[in-house]
Amino acid sequence: MISRRDWLGRLGAGVAALSLGGLSGEAIAGAQVEEPLVDSVRTALSSAVANSAPPVPEFSDTDGRLTYLRWLGAMSSRLRQRKPEWQERKEFLQTVWYESKRAGLETSLVLGLIQVESGFRKFVVSSAGARGYMQVMPFWTRVIGDGDASKLFHMQTNLRFGCVILRHYLDREKGDLFMALGRYNGSRGKAAYPDAVLASRRAWEYTDPSAVAPR
């Protein structure tokens, strides 16, 4: 068993290495690996990415809407330095919220992954060819999309593909987030990438004040 100091050292090294993609003009080189899909899975994934419903949050009650607006305000403050323009920041966060919920993922996980993968840059391309916010490999547009890889630079399309792919990997790994993240990065079983994403996720976690019981 490694010591806490050794673990933190390894985590710090992994985060530092992966963060280089967020500081340079090129994203990190890790990428999803093309694997055979059974027809039923291919059909399900194709259906999941084909729905072009706009990412407009809908709520069944006022409390739900207020919770979302408080989350939006908190995330907007944290993201302001990376995305100074309010309208762009709002549309981005709204789409992250919509696509995360649609795929059954935590918004903090998706934001943490985007931070590690692209540094919140829309048009970044890795040396492996992965594109956009969630660094989606172009082969996915051929396998489950319409074959137009240029659409991966469209915000909603990129986030839709990224969230659907991550959900697919989570299902394949039977809910094992560590292994699913490694598969997303093409480094299944290695610790550096999952550790970096999970560390970044903490910066985007949010607890709604109304959910905290008074003492």
Could you give the domains of the chain?
A: 10-50+57-206 (1.10.530)
> 183-208: per-residue pLDDT in tens?
999 999 999 999 999 999 999 999 99
Contact between residue 145 and residue 51 where contact means Cβ atoms under 8 Å apart? no
Q: Which residues pair with 28 in a beta bridge?
A: none
For residue 197, give the DSSP letter. H
165 vs 202: CA distance, rounded Å? 22
Give Cβ neighbours of residue 73 (< 8 Å, ≥ 6 apart): none
Determine the number of helices (DSSP H) and then strands (DSSP E) in the chain.
Answer: 9, 0
49 vs 199: CA distance, rounded Å? 28
CA distances from 180 to 87, 144, 175, 191 (A): 32, 19, 8, 12
> 20-54: per-residue pLDDT in tens?
344 333 455 467 777 767 677 778 778 878 866 66
pLDDT classification of 215: cutoffs 50, 70, 90: low
pTM for this one?
0.81
> 121-164: per-residue pLDDT in tens?
999 999 999 999 999 999 999 988 899 999 999 999 999 999 99
